[in-house]
Structure 1
């Protein structure tokens, strides 16, 4: 019998697979009816709405909206159609749906036809069509996965037993302690132009950066080797699962990196990104898996929860309120959190009063005090709501800013502008003005978790040395590339926070990959799609 990494071939899984197929047939019927066309004009109109692009974050208000409940399709047969003249013998008969799905599609047509005769049914049909208009992309994605499950019930798992054994570093090896080694043979793992899912914020070469040497540095831990990222091994571990980054734009930076690392092994047309409100979701259909990013820059509720429209100068949080975000984290198999950079504007944090009606009703408290209150709320929620047998939790430490060139021996420099090499000749950590109290607080919270383990992914020191790898002047601002006038003011416009891709976040994902495979997780017995 063949062995597979992260895959169960038991009869129980096959039975669950069969139940999942059966439960998804109605969605497959809806996809067939609304996408293949229908003989009803109403059906055509609803098909056009179903296929519309999802609304932008501005239209959604930056909030992931719950899916409305839909009644199961009627199983009664539709009334017989009125008699029509005999069709030409040369006309092709309509293509039948598999396994009797014609009856389900006919039921949908019956509902739409009956809407003309009954006000109640008209209201139900209108609500149904409105739901398709609002969630058409989601319905289409679910239907595609459902039909895939029907058409390819016995799709082969990737046989990782045919690969050399994966040598994982010992748990005692500190992966974050090491050095950057120039290596233009094994890195980067992908090319910028080959990953169409990258956003303009991180495509430094396309945005005009004249050098590319930042891509060719490999991280070498001092006491062990860091496994190279194997997309097939990783996706086998993700089969039937959900992985979600939660946090700010640096976690989105890492999510984009992970998407680019895995997408080359996926077939064309079987992968896509859907963006809705706080969610960015990458669907890997062959694996029935999702890699997701969820916008929550403070983890708790704040006046910055809209990913497209939020305050830069007036950041106000509600440290004891997390459920509006956390309700979207339930049922996820891998949760990767971060929050730091959004705290660094001021020494004090604006905190909304508990029973206030408006964001303007707030107090200012020391940053570290507010940070501690947030992590008390966060850790309590994890302990009360997460099943550690199902979900693994990780936390990414501080991603550094490089705004002080005198710290790495370049007193005449301007932030990270024109830096083309890492800091190489170092004997001790750089002092880049991180608030290490926040680093220590998170480490202490993770250490004292009782029920739900939290694994820290320490990226801080290794990233400190990469002054050369930021997007700098080769990024976007308010959706547009920097103008020549803006580039002439690098002290104001250079982005020394986010990272070019390929680049440093790929190494963060190498470490995450190593930690996930070290856990030897098996696929979830109850795979689910993410909320949209």
Structure 2
């Protein structure tokens, strides 16, 4: 879709901010089965990329006003040039309707819109104080020489974002459970959360009690607060398998069953009170789409040569999110709060993921120094459309759906990736840069500041609602 067409669609359909995507392109080197679940498809980008005691009348007026305000949320629209290192313009401030406030959790401030400012106090923790960090994200352990990437704080335009408070988070989560469903970037967020919480209570690894695969299906328990954190590996959210008889390669075709949620999370999800959904990078592989057990099409697979309908990856992406959200809505026992975490950008420069591209910057971008393509915007629009539809249905069922929009913040952090200072993956004996995942500690800790803020806001609203009911 041409950029002009995408922007026109955004204005007409009143959507929200775009996001960086990682593209899967051409490499046929075979990947050993032992690391099949962590392909370089997650390591690349094809593009350089306060409440008053008012009278009843006043309450009614305020309620009416709130309904109007809750129908308005921010739109961030980035219009960019052809290269990551090129300056690009950004259009902000367009508003869009929603059945209930999504981004603007605090009605007085949109915490997802702002900029990074110097913060000399540094990170919440280090790799020494938190031994839970896996090598893949452990930039300090692997000798990253600069530490300036730790000395920045997100500053919303209209207010201050509260600092993460591990004690308060654990109290809110006491006796509850949280699941991250998606790919390794979701696991990246879990790593950050574990380290943030470990300052108050160190968790126990109980993964072996629930899964044989304790690398991609992790479960941690905080006994003092009876709180569980889990991660479910589901890069497509729906059921998938390798389609190539020749074995899994960096660019081999995957079969994905668009109407079947991945069983690993779908069979367990009713046990969780908070669920963070995310997915994306894997959709840039060649894909074969199945529905009702039959092939309905494919993308990047030369399907027309075999009389298979060529469908876009956006089709598969939409259907995967639709299926995932419908699964949550259809399970009567599920009472959890669902979060959609939007995509974070990759920042490859001077090449693609497999042609020597890297991310060696040591400072955040200033406003406008980000690169997006029309496809990235289309992916984001598709994602949010399905989220909104699920949110409307959720309201009917009394379920809460909330957006964690990390895009505005993370597009500004080309300095936040491991680059060559993380666990190594080799491509033909050449170490590849990781410009998709994020250093822990680092910029990704903001995602859990957002999560803490939204959870706390929802808790306050729930308590206020209960107080109003009792008063009646």
Query: 1:457-495: CA deviations, max 9, x gaps?
Result: 1111210111111111112235xxx699735xxxxx111
Task: Name the CA distance, whole Å, in 2 between partners of 1:289 and 1:394.
Answer: 18
Within the candidate set 251, 274, 278, 2:207 is matched to 274
CA shift in 2, pair 1:417/1:380, >3 Å: closer
Matched, 1:300 2:235: no
**Corresponding residue for 1:369?**
315
Contact 2:257 2:293 (C-alpha < 8 Å) held by counterparts: no
SS of the aligned residue for 2:418 comes to strand
How far off its partner does 1:405 sit? 6.0
Matched, 1:418 2:357: no
User: Which region of structure 1 is more displaced relative to structure 2, 249-258 or 370-379?
Assistant: 370-379
User: Which region of structure 1 is more displaced relative to structure 2, 296-305 or 500-509?
Assistant: 296-305
Which consecutive residues of structure 1, in runs of 5 or more, have no partner in the other structure?
Answer: 1-57, 63-167, 407-412, 488-492, 524-532
Within the candidate set 341, 348, 365, 1:396 is matched to 341
How many residues align? The count is: 336
Matched, 1:261 2:261: no
Task: Name the CA distance, whole Å, in 1 between partners of 2:120 and 2:383.
Answer: 36
**Corresponding residue for 1:456?**
403
Matched, 1:444 2:388: no
How far off its partner does 1:365 sit? 2.4
Contact 2:259 2:291 (C-alpha < 8 Å) held by counterparts: no
SS of the aligned residue for 2:188 comes to helix
Task: Name the CA distance, whole Å, in 1 between partners of 2:441 and 2:280.
Answer: 23
How far off its partner does 1:310 sit? 6.6
Matched, 1:175 2:111: yes
**Corresponding residue for 2:5?**
none
How far off its partner does 1:353 sit? 6.0
Task: Name the CA distance, whole Å, in 2 between partners of 1:401 and 1:520.
Answer: 33
SS of the aligned residue for 2:136 comes to coil
**Corresponding residue for 1:339?**
279
Query: 1:327-376: CA deviations, max 9, x gaps?
Result: 12112100000011111245xx321464369x999875211111122122
Contact 1:400 1:434 (C-alpha < 8 Å) held by counterparts: no
How far off its partner does 1:455 sit? 0.9
How far off its partner does 1:241 sit? 0.7
How far off its partner does 1:173 sit? 2.0
SS of the aligned residue for 1:504 comes to coil
Task: Name the CA distance, whole Å, in 1 between partners of 2:310 and 2:427.
Answer: 37
**Corresponding residue for 2:258?**
319
Report which of the two structures shows the higher radius of gyration computed on alpha carbons.
Answer: 1
Task: Name the CA distance, whole Å, in 1 between partners of 2:257 and 2:428.
Answer: 40
**Corresponding residue for 1:195?**
130
**Corresponding residue for 2:184?**
249
CA shift in 2, pair 1:257/1:446, >3 Å: same
Contact 2:337 2:400 (C-alpha < 8 Å) held by counterparts: yes
Task: Name the CA distance, whole Å, in 2 between partners of 1:324 and 1:483.
Answer: 31
CA shift in 2, pair 1:447/1:352, >3 Å: closer
Contact 2:105 2:454 (C-alpha < 8 Å) held by counterparts: no
How far off its partner does 1:383 sit? 1.7
**Corresponding residue for 2:91?**
none
Select the structure with the greater relative contact order (CA < 8 A; seq sep ≥ 6): 2
Contact 1:397 1:456 (C-alpha < 8 Å) held by counterparts: yes
How far off its partner does 1:219 sit? 0.5
**Corresponding residue for 2:142?**
207
Contact 2:221 2:228 (C-alpha < 8 Å) held by counterparts: yes
Structure that is richer in strand per residue: 2
| Root-mean-square deviation over aligned CA pairs | 3.4
**Corresponding residue for 1:48?**
none
CA shift in 2, pair 1:495/1:336, >3 Å: same
**Corresponding residue for 1:285?**
223
How far off its partner does 1:448 sit? 2.3
Contact 2:240 2:262 (C-alpha < 8 Å) held by counterparts: no
With normalisation by structure 2, the TM-score equals 0.64
Contact 1:191 1:502 (C-alpha < 8 Å) held by counterparts: yes
CA shift in 2, pair 1:311/1:483, >3 Å: closer
**Corresponding residue for 2:46?**
none
Contact 2:106 2:457 (C-alpha < 8 Å) held by counterparts: no
Contact 2:270 2:333 (C-alpha < 8 Å) held by counterparts: no
**Corresponding residue for 1:516?**
455
Task: Name the CA distance, whole Å, in 2 between partners of 1:231 and 1:399.
Answer: 24
